[in-house]
Structure formats: C-alpha cells, structure tokens
Structure 1
Amino acid sequence: MASWAGQPSVKGSTESMRMALLTFSLVGIQFTWGIEMTYCTPYLLALGLTKSRTSLVWIAGPLSGLIVQPIIGVLADRSTSKYGRRRPIMVIGSFLVACCLIMLGWTKEIVGHFVEEGEFRKSCTVALAVVSIYAVDFAINAVQACCRSLIVDTLPIPKQQTGSAWASRMVAIGHLTGYVIGTMDLVKIFGPTLGDTQFKQLILVSAFALIISCGVTSWAVTERVLISGKDADAPHKGIIEIIRHIFKTATSLPPRIQAICNIQLWSWIGWFPFYFYSTTFVGEIYFRYDAPHDVKQSKDALGDIGRIGSLALVVFSSVVFTGAIILPILIRSPDEESFTKRPPAAIAAVLTKFNKFRPDLLTAWIWGHLLFSSSMILTPFARSFRFATFLMALCGIPSALSSWAPATFMGMEVNRLSAPASSYRRLSSSAPLELTSPLTPATPTPTRLEQGTIAEKDDNGSTGELSGLYFGILNIYTTIPQFIGTFISMIVFALLEPGKSPELAHDADPSEHHGTDGPNAIAVCLSIGSLCTIGAAFATRRLRTLYRGG
C-alpha cells in the first residue's frame, strides 16, 4: 500500500482561477514548441541542409518522447521529494530548456568563437544546431510529462474533462501568443540589443515564457508527498528495470487505455507533418505564387517565411482558442449523466432541449479526425497563400479536440483503475462536486481542489499514483507515428525536392536548387498523413463501443 502526506491543492478563490493556475505551465511549453515548429525547419534550411536531411533532424522529437517521457514519468511517480513528485522536475527542466534554446539561437556565434571561417565552421554550426534541437526536445519532454501528470494527480475523476479542457485552452493561448509575436518584426521593435535576428529574439522570449509559466504553476500547486510506495526500493532500480516495467505495462494495457493509445498512433501520423512543416508550407506557397520579386530576393528569407507562416497560423490558433472556449460548452462530458449541476428554473427548459442535440466527446472527436483529413487532402491543390491559410484554419477545431480528448479519457481511466466509489460525495443538489478523503472528516473546502488518499489496488494502478507511467506510454504511441512520418517525409523530399530550398538557400550553387513548378513536397506529406487520420476515426469509434458496452 502506498502512503502519502498531505492533500493536493491549488491556490485561487474560484474554480476557474484554480484551473488556470494548474494548467498555466502549458502556455510556456506550447509557446516553446510553437517557436521550434515555426522557425527551426526554415532555420536549418537556411544553414544549408536539404529537406530530406532536415526531416531526419526531426527524429529528435519522437526519439526524446519515446525515451524521456516514460522514464521521467516512472521516476517522478516514485519520487519521495518533500516538494512533490512533478514540480521539481518542471522547474529544473525549464531552466535546462532555456539554456539549450539560447545555445540554439547563438550557434553561429558560439562556433565562430572557436572555429575559423570556412566550410568546417559551417559544418560545425549545423552540427551544434542539431545537437541543440535534440537537447531542447529531450528537456522539454521531461517538463511536459510532469505538467500533464500534475493535472491528473491533482483533480478527481469528475474534474478530469474540465482540467483537460482548461489545458487545451492554455495550449491554444501558447500557440496564439507565439504566432502573434512571430508576425512582428521584433528586431525593428526592440533593436539589435536582444539579438540581431528575429529568431534570436523569439528564442529569448520563449525561454523566459517557459520559466515563468512553470514557476507560476509550481507556486500555485501543492502536491501530495509520497512517503513510500508498494515497491519500496523502486527509486533505486536501474534504467533497465524501469524500461522493463514500462514495456510490461505497455504490452498489457486495459482495453480502454489501449484504445486511446491506438487513436494516438493513427492520428499523429497526420499531425506530425502538420505541426512541423505547416509554417514552411504556407511560407513556400506564398513565395511560389504570391510574393513580389523584391520579396523573393530578400536576404532575410528565414524571417520572411517565418512571419508569413506565423500570420497564417495566427488564424489557425485563433480557431483553436475559440474552439477550446466553446467546445466544452457544446459537448457533453463523459460523466455528465452522473455529475451535473441543477440549472436555474428560468432556463431549465431551454437547456433541456439544447442538451438533446449536444454530442458526446467521442462523437465530436470522430468528426474532428474527419475534418482534419478532409482539409489536408486538399493541400497539394493550394495555389495561393489565402487558400493555404484557409486549410490551416479548418484544422483548428480538430487540433483543439486532439489536445483535449486524449488527456481527458486517459486521466479518467488512470484514476478509475482503483478509485473507490466511496471517495466521492455530493454536498447538495446544487453544489459542485467535491472530493473528500476517506481518512479525514468530510468538511467542505470550496477554495481547494483536493484528492483523497486512495490505497493502491495492484501494480497497475492507484488514483494518480501511476499517471506518469500511463501518460508516458500514451506518449510512446504519440511518438512512434512520428518516426513513420519522418520516414515518409524523407522519401517524399528526396524524390520531389532533392536539392536545397530555393526560397532560403540563396548562397547555394544553382545546380543544387530544385524547381518550384512541381508539386510541393510538404503538401504531399500532409495529404499522405491525412489518409492515416481516417484510421484514427475508426479507432475512436472502437473506443466509443467499449464505453457503451461498459
């Protein structure tokens, strides 16, 4: 049996404030991911890499997720730190990410300090940039693993969908903020003091944003402290034993958790090229079909493509943010039939009619997959910046659902593995649900989100105790399709655009350029991924069958 000290709580006088503080760290994480996704592909192309080689660099994301998140999740699950299991890793990891980001932004200066001018310096600059990207990805995956698990640890089952909805809102805010800032000419606004390029200044902003957001959540949340787990010597086990434990759990998942993982497997084959290449895609469409001659000859093509792509993704993120606000109102919660507030009598009749037409979250998720697939299948036909932007915007609703639904159902299932029904009580017919501990008096605490002390049931579950493990496994299913997507994009780029990108590599020999009158290789990758998203729709339908079948 696991033993704990204290109760999890979140500062704040209202539930909305507590939810915002609990999930605020995701703003900085998503802002950092957004900067990497928006600028690192054109940054590497500007250094002289071909698209096929650049696609290999992006193995960093899935590789770090495959290795780091499950291991960090297990180590955090077993941590007995007096500061909690998640927050120490979040704080230390955010500072590490900031250092790696600065190294990425100033690779030329760092290499130039040690290596003389010439081809060898260019090779060293590319190598350091690639190493920096890997370091950023490994560190930020550790932070992200703990931020997601912290939400599951802190909230009871009836609040999991609310917490995940707030998490999707924070993700949308991080995306939107990053893209809005990316459309600005920061060098002109702030001058060269903070860096002489757009990329450098965005790097500094993202580093500070991550540290501040993780710091705010760590300050606002109080975690339970693990005194001892069922496996008392677990923290001293080696990496090999931890990997074996992860593998054993991953190969014997409960049916619903396995179904959630299968959905991730299919859907992320489509989302991977979208998140990593969509900005470059929109920027290249602009350069090919809309840009005037003087823009095409710009010496700062990286900044131009980044700003154009960011402008399109501002529209995308606005749709994501709007969806994250509105969709939780329009979509039924999985637990709504059991846990719901009594509406005011004046609007009860209207709400009753409205509720008849509200879809459940699984149905909305299925339609989200299909909308994404329908949009991305059209990317090879994009011949204008406006049409490309329109296709990106259509993906906003599916994106909001993809960041909300998996965490909701995984959080519910991890908690349901061992949560006894007696842990929940209703204070009154109209009061919101609160969670009390079976070991403490049932005293209402309206300003705190608390989770009771739940005894461990078996190796695979206790309420929140193994959230790091299961979310790490979910991330494995999120990263495996990224390897598949990388392999697909590498082949497509090698066949359709084998040379250096003409929009960026102006200093390359003309013989190394490919033409711009053929199909856009990124568009082909996006359309291939969209076909796999149809598989995600069928997998989600299977999960709905499991829930209806009990």
Structure 2
Amino acid sequence: MAEEDTLRGRDSEDGSQKLSGDTPRNTSLEQVAKPVHEQSPLLSPTETGHEEEEGLIEDGQVLEDDPLDSFQETKSLWYMILLTVSLGGLQLAWAVELSNGTPYLLSLGLSKSLMALVWIAGPLSGALVQPYVGMLSDNCRSPWGKRTPFMVAGSFATVVSLLALAWVREAVGGFLGLFGADRESQGVKVTIIVVAVMFVYILDFAINTVQAGIRAFILDCCPAHQQESANSMASRVVGVGNIIGYVAGFTDLPKFMWFFGNTQFKVLCVIACLSLSSTVALSVSTIRERDPRTEAEAPKRKGGLISFFKQVFSSIRQLPPQTRKVCEVQFMAWIGFFPQLFYSSSFVGDIYVQPYLEKNRNMTPAEIDELYEKATRVGSFALLVYAITSLATNVLLPFFIAPTYDAPSSAASEGSQKSYTTRIDRMLDKLVIPWLTLRRAWLCSHVIFASCMFSTLIVRSVGGATALIGIVGVSWALTLWAPFAIISAEISKRDALRRSREQNDDGLDKSSDDQAGVILGIHNMAVATPQIIATIGSSIIFRFFQKPRGTPGDRSISIVMAAGGLSTLVAAYLTSRIKDEIELPEGTVEEGRAVRGSRRSGEGRGLIRAGSFSGL
C-alpha cells in the first residue's frame, strides 16, 4: 500500500499523466507498469522464497518497454545483420578447428589415444571460461561498453593462436635450430606437438571469450521484443559461416591462394583470421553499446578461484525460471547433439565403405586408406547438405513462427510501425501459424532429431544416410535459435526492470540480480558439461562395439548416435514444460498502471516482422 501511495503521490505532483507516447520524461517504468516488489515473478525464486513461477510475467504484470529508451526501439534488418555478423566470422574459426584440427595434429605425430585429451579442451573451456568472462564483462566499466573489450581481446588472442598453430612446425623448428637442434630429431618433434597442443587450449579459451562477448553483446543491444528475431538472424549468420567453411574445405586452396600458405590448413587459418577480425570490427564500429558508467555499479565481490565457483553456484540457484528450464533442456539435448556433430560424416562414410569391404576382404592398407579418403568426401557432402538445410530453415521458418512478445505500444513505436509496415509486410504476417510458437517448434525439432538418430540403426544406403543428416539440419537450426531467444527475452526484460529501478532511485539501488554475461555463461555450462558426458559414454560404447578399421559390419557409430536420440526425447519432454508467455486480454489499465498482453493483436507482430525482415 505504501508503494501504491507513493505512485499516486507522484501522479498528483506531475498532474494528469497519459499512459501513451506523451508520457513525461520523468515517468519511470514503475509508473507505467505494475509496481515491482519483493514478490515480483521477475525476481529469482530463491530471492522471493516462493515456488518457481511458470513464466516470465504473470497476471498482467507484463513490463512495458520504456518509450524513452532508444535501445528498445524496433530495429531494422540491417541493424540485425551488423549486430550478429561477428558470429559468422567466429563460426569459421570453429569450423577450421573442428574439421581440420584432428588431421593436422595427427600429421604432427600425435597419437589417437591422446587426441581425446586434446579435444576435451573445448567442453572444459566452455564450462569455465564463458561464465568467468560473463562475470567480468557484467562488471566492466569501459567507455566502449561491457562486451566490446572482451570481443576485441578475444579476437586478437584467437588470431594469434590460429596463426601460431598453423606455423608451429616452422616456428618451433626454427627456434630450436638456432641452438643446433636437428628439425627431424625426436626431441624437436615432441616439442612441436607439445607447443601445438598448448596453442589448441589457448585457441579454445580465446574462442570461448569471443563467443561469450558476442552473445551478450547481441542481447544487450537488441530490444526485448526482437530477441527472437535477433537470435534467428544470428543462427542464419552461423549457417552462412558453416557453408563457407565446408566449401573452403572442398577447394584446393593452396592452388588458388598460395600467397596465404603452402598447405590447406595454413590457408584456412588465414581466411578464418581475416573473417573473424573484419566481422568483429564491423560489429563493434557500427553498433554502440550502452555506456556502463551511467549505470549503478554492481556490488563488489571477492576475487579468486574459490569466490568464482561460489558465485557460479549461487547464480545457478538464482537463475530466472524460464532460463533454468532452458538449461535443463540443453543439458539433455547436447548429450545427443555432441555425437551427431562429431560422427555424422564418419557414419555416412562407414555406410559407403561397407559394400567394398564385404566384396574384397583382403584389401591392402594402401587400398583401405584410399577407400576411406573417398568415404570422407562422401561424408563431407552430407554435412554440406546439413548446413544448407539448417540455413534454409533459419531463413524461412521465422516467417511462420508466432512471435512471443509484442512490440512496444508507445507513440514512438507506432510511428516506426507506419514507417516500416508495407503491403509485403502484411502479406508476410499472414504466413504466421498462430499455434506455432518458437517453444513448440523447438519441441518438434527434438522429436525430429530423435527419430533421425533411431533411424541410423536401420538405414543402409548412402542416399538414405545423407537424407537423415540433412533432416537433422532442421533441428540444428532450432538449437542455434530457440534457447538463446527464450533466454534473451527474459534477461532483456529483467535488465530493463533493473535499469528502471536504478533510474527511479537516482542510481543508488545496486541490484544483486545477475546480468546477461553470467546468465549466458551458465547456459553455456549447460551446453558444455553434457559434451564431456557424451564423450565418456561414446568411448564406452566404442569399447564394446567397435571393430578394427577395414573390417566389415561395424555399426558402432549408429549405436552411439541412437543412444543420443534417447536423451533428446527427454529434452523434448522438458521442453513441453516450458510455458509460452501467458496470453492476456487486450491491453488494460488498472489503477493507473499500464498492463500489456503478450499477444494483444497482430499489430505488434507486424511491427516486429517489418523491422526485422523487411528487405530480406
């Protein structure tokens, strides 16, 4: 009651206030939305002491976007492209490491038994680096923004480590040669391997730093009602990066780009470095973050490793309700996705070689190597189909998805609607399938993925296997889009509420709520940790079912992928427990407070679609 009296007192001081675009500038979000207090469902359930809420907002307590906040204005297509283009450059760096890293390390003399210890660096760095970088960036007070310094520093470290890895043989051999060491000696070869592995770990840590910064950068610079559109655009950019990477892998690059290096791996590393540095520079130079110096400083926390883990566990307990459920889904889903990502090409390749192995059981080692080289190219073609399907899904599916959040109802936004809405936009809006929310599409994608994984046990033709991997591209597209969109929308609204509290209290209120960086970092832990579990589980299955290379009848990869499908069915069930934003009647005003329904009319959806996809 005291809080409501305070609001009425402000109304009496300011005179009659309209709940529209002409709201006075000193009107805060708390004056145009239902008062937020300790029981607000926007706050963590552990802070309120009550049971977890099913949705982001309940019972009409939908937070209205601040019409005076330029970051909440509907953004155009080109803004979305510039905002997310850096993910495309980053994807090329990932593609180079994942697709060519293993053959390159084997060429240096690293044994297969030690390879698993090297590639465990990816999940480990994802589980540790991203939460830590998220915490650091949340507390960053740089005039360039919270995320930009980490994006730039991480990109620089990625470029250095990629180039050092590509030329490690020449660099280490040349350095030791200054002291009279023979480049062909065993000691020099071992040193080259050790240094190469060191740079692999540095590369994984650097890439995760860039990724943590970019994901938080996208969330911070995009309005709450366009988070689905922004993450859809991000997944498209990733799809383009994948296709470019696969096409580059097919091409004999040293023949055409000899000036970048004399091997395929060297040229790919240079291309990835140029792509990453140019796209990150384009994003940070054209998209400006908020100045963190204008916000209240976060409460000071102790440094050190123990303090870091304590804060991580505390943040996990305080996760927002929707984000918590998404992390649960991701944990189960990635137990299935990890084998599919790493073994799809081998699955298709094994099917390709089976008829040849059965016809000729006395092939020489050289003939077997040649056969598996052809199988690798066949498997790579399946991955290209997979990447094209994923990109096509990310381009087309958003036109059929019903956006969860409406655009702001302020006068400024209405003006933007008049500027953006065209006949084509209205035609595109008719394509929306009302019941097909992003959450439901994500659920369907899990079922599709599990069905394809189970089908690997019975498919025996290369064409059928290629089709299965191509269909999985639909699920991969939703995996790159849906979880980030759901989490980003919730965090964006929480951040808007936090800024309104700080503004209303003249910057004296130092909120203890976790911000975008640490929450996205915890989400990445939910993605990275199951990859370690999947690696161990796959090794156990291979231990019992794998046959020697060149022996017909090996179906161990199919068993591993089918086992991943079981965990994805659990993920589908967990996705069904995530609630879409509660539908409310047409926007109402209650006791002088603005209340906005999640799907009040088609106007908000049209504005979102116009701002995000016009000109596509």
Give your verdict on TM over 0.5: yes
SS of the residue 1:334 aligns to: coil
SS of the residue 2:578 aligns to: helix
2:50 equivalent in structure 1: none
Distance 1:88 1:421 in 2: 23
| 2:170 is equivalent to residue 170 of structure 1 | no
Shift of 1:413: 1.2
Shift of 1:91: 1.2
| 2:517 is equivalent to residue 468 of structure 1 | yes
1:259 equivalent in structure 2: 325
Comparing 246-255 with 80-89, greater Cα deviation is found at: 246-255
Q: Scaled by the length of structure 1, what TM-score is found?
A: 0.80
SS of the residue 2:262 aligns to: coil
1:310 pairs with 367, 370, 380, which one? 380
Query: Counterparts of 1:242-281 in structure 2 under 5 Å?
Result: 242-281=308-347
Distance 1:258 1:357 in 2: 26
Distance 1:45 1:244 in 2: 39
Q: How many residue pairs end up in the alignment?
A: 498
2:444 equivalent in structure 1: 367
Shift of 1:131: 2.4
| 2:483 is equivalent to residue 406 of structure 1 | yes
Query: Counterparts of 1:100-499 in structure 2 under 5 Å?
Result: 100-113=161-174, 114=176, 116=182, 117-191=184-258, 193-227=259-293, 229-231=296-298, 233-234=300-301, 237-287=303-353, 289=355, 297=367, 307-336=377-406, 354-356=431-433, 359-417=436-494, 419-420=496-497, 458-461=511-514, 466-497=515-546
Shift of 1:493: 3.3
CA contact (8 A) 1:55 1:490 kept: no
Comparing 155-164 with 309-318, greater Cα deviation is found at: 309-318
1:75 pairs with 136, 145, 168, which one? 136
2:553 equivalent in structure 1: 518
Runs of 5+ unmatched residues, structure 1: 1-5, 424-436, 440-452, 499-512
- List per-residue Cα deviations over 1:260-306 (Å, max 9, x = no partner): 11011011111112223334444454455579999964989998666
CA contact (8 A) 1:58 1:486 kept: no
SS of the residue 2:577 aligns to: helix
Distance 1:356 1:181 in 2: 37
1:427 equivalent in structure 2: none
SS of the residue 1:207 aligns to: helix
Distance 1:469 1:76 in 2: 8
Distance 1:151 1:350 in 2: 28
Supply the AA of the counterpart residue of 2:512. Answer: D
Change in CA separation of 1:301 and 1:145 when aligned onto 2, cut-off 3 Å:
farther
Distance 1:460 1:300 in 2: 58
Q: Scaled by the length of structure 2, what TM-score is found?
A: 0.72
Supply the AA of the counterpart residue of 1:174. Answer: G
CA contact (8 A) 1:496 1:521 kept: yes
Identity over aligned pairs, percent: 34
Distance 2:544 2:110 in 1: 16
| 2:148 is equivalent to residue 99 of structure 1 | no
Shift of 1:394: 0.7
Change in CA separation of 1:275 and 1:133 when aligned onto 2, cut-off 3 Å:
farther
- List per-residue Cα deviations over 1:39-76 (Å, max 9, x = no partner): 22344455565655433332111100111000000001
CA contact (8 A) 2:404 2:580 kept: no
Distance 1:225 1:328 in 2: 32
CA contact (8 A) 2:222 2:230 kept: yes
Distance 2:384 2:470 in 1: 9
Give me the CA root mean square deviation: 3.8
CA contact (8 A) 2:131 2:521 kept: yes
SS of the residue 2:319 aligns to: coil
CA contact (8 A) 2:319 2:519 kept: no
SS of the residue 2:292 aligns to: strand
Distance 2:240 2:364 in 1: 34
Supply the AA of the counterpart residue of 2:571. Answer: A
Change in CA separation of 1:286 and 1:90 when aligned onto 2, cut-off 3 Å:
farther
Structure with higher Rg: it is 2
Distance 2:499 2:257 in 1: 58
Distance 2:161 2:391 in 1: 29
Distance 1:454 1:405 in 2: 34
CA contact (8 A) 1:51 1:497 kept: no
Comparing 534-543 with 44-53, greater Cα deviation is found at: 44-53
CA contact (8 A) 1:8 1:223 kept: no
Change in CA separation of 1:23 and 1:335 when aligned onto 2, cut-off 3 Å:
same
SS of the residue 1:419 aligns to: helix
SS of the residue 2:554 aligns to: coil
Distance 2:346 2:458 in 1: 16
Distance 1:237 1:52 in 2: 37
Distance 2:554 2:136 in 1: 47
Change in CA separation of 1:515 and 1:46 when aligned onto 2, cut-off 3 Å:
farther
2:572 equivalent in structure 1: 537
- List per-residue Cα deviations over 1:5-42 (Å, max 9, x = no partner): x98779xx971111100001000111111222222234
Supply the AA of the counterpart residue of 1:250. Answer: I
1:502 equivalent in structure 2: none
Change in CA separation of 1:302 and 1:195 when aligned onto 2, cut-off 3 Å:
farther
- List per-residue Cα deviations over 1:174-199 (Å, max 9, x = no partner): 111111111111123234x4333222
Distance 2:494 2:557 in 1: 42
SS of the residue 1:543 aligns to: coil
Runs of 5+ unmatched residues, structure 2: 1-67, 585-597, 599-616
Distance 2:128 2:216 in 1: 17
Change in CA separation of 1:413 and 1:387 when aligned onto 2, cut-off 3 Å:
same
